[in-house]
């Protein structure tokens, strides 16, 4: 499953966390179907989605999701001015 970026066991009622990057909302159902086929007993209890990510792994993206430029990742620093204006 090339879309999966993180799969971790956690201590909780629901004990598996999966983070995946998909290019459209329609791909979420495809991914959930694939997971259900690979692990027939799995229960998908919840999901969250981010519809737009302006910055991904240090890359500033355009409206089509293509890289425009690279911005160093500083988790505690301020947002770049261009990204902050979009919020």
What pLDDT digit, counting tens, does each position of 42-79 carry?
888 888 887 766 666 777 778 777 888 887 777 777 76
pTM of the model: 0.57
Alpha-carbon distances, residue 80 vs 66, 74, 85 (angstroms)? 18, 10, 9
pLDDT tens track for 16-25 = 888 888 878 8
Query: Are 47 and 29 in contact, with CB atoms under 8 Å apart?
Result: no
């Amino acid at each position: 499953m090339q879309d999966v970026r993180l799969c971790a066991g956690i201590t909780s009622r629901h004990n598996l966390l999966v983070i995946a990057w998909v290019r459209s909302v329609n791909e979420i159902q495809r991914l959930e179907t694939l997971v259900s086929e690979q692990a027939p007993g799995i229960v998908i209890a919840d999901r969250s989605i981010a519809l737009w990510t302006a910055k991904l792994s240090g890359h500033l993206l355009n409206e089509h999701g293509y890289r425009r430029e690279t911005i160093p990742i500083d988790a505690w620093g301020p947002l770049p001015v261009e990204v902050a204006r979009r919020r």
